[in-house]
Amino acid sequence: MRSHFNYLRPECLTECLDILAQYGSETTILAGGTDVMISLRSNVKKPGIILDISRLPETRLVEPSGETVRVGSTLTYSELIDHPVIRHEFPALRRAMGCVGSLQIRNVGTLGGNIANSSPAADSFPPMMLRDAEIIIQKKGSLRIQKLEKLIVGAYSNTLEPDELITGIILKKAETGSRESYQRIGRRKSLSIARINAGILGRLNDSGAIQDVRISIGSVAPAPMRITDVERNLIGLRPELKTIREAGQMIAQRIIELVGVRQSTEYKQPAIAGLAQKCLEDVFLDSNSN
């Protein structure tokens, strides 16, 4: 590990943004450190300054407001998993965060760090996209809010500038009667990176037909995606098993069309279809889901 850098830990957001305004291009931000420490040890990152943001009080709150909830960027996965608002409002996100690494990783890793790292395999991305996640980004003197799918532009690539900091995430509450599911495929049941992950949210109307459905698939492309054309095709249909099976196949086919045929397609196409079908069954058929 490179040892020649300055370590700074600001006590408030204003102090942090002042540092980034002056030294942003030579600064690496440390929140939980689960990705940063690996980069430092392997000399991938060689910063002049390590900026520890883990103690900023402004980024450690969960704040419900009307139809949305603002989630602070430096709260750890474990803190969010145990938070009553997250438990009640965002079951799929809560399940996804429970799949991240080990307990030790969840005790230090943060949702903001996950977004900034922009891994295509991030467990949190599909359930956040179901809730129209907007990312609060601040720098000295200004604030901007950007949709998650616009912020992430490729594998480990996003629109963040060196002097900017993710301070929070705005998530929409679900409509009454909605249910959601998160599923993943990994090499192992735990301590594995998702090979494919999926989140689906939906609700039925009074006659038992699909009134709303949102589908997000991750780990199959450089950035997370909503499958909006399949969503539109499902509106108004009754969620019979045949319909759900066909929807799973449609989702898999659409993803192949978007990302192209690859060496892994033979494996991934049926895996995506099966995973999507499982989520759809959880949401529309399984009375014990959520």
Sort strands 6-8 and 49-52 into parallel, antiparallel or unpaired.
parallel
CATH class of 6-52: alpha beta
Q: What are phi and psi of 8, to 5 degrees?
A: -125, 140
Of the options 3.30.465.10, 3.40.50.720, 1.10.1200.10, 3.90.950.10, the CATH number for the domain spanning 57-172: 3.30.465.10
Instruction: For 181-240, write each residue's pLDDT tens digit.
Output: 999 997 756 556 888 999 999 999 999 999 999 999 999 988 889 999 999 999 999 999
The CATH classification number of 179-284 equals 3.30.390.50
Q: Which helix (H) or strand (E) holds 276?
A: helix 265-284
Distance CA 145, CA 167 (A): 10
- Write down the pTM of the prediction: 0.92
**All structural domains of the chain with their residue ranges:** 6-52, 57-172, 179-284
* Ranges of H-type helices in 42-196: 77-81, 84-89, 91-98, 103-106, 111-117, 125-130, 148-151
Q: Residue 284's pLDDT band (boundaries 50, 70, 90)?
A: very high
Query: What pLDDT, on a 0 to 100 scale, did the predictor assign at position 289?
Result: 47
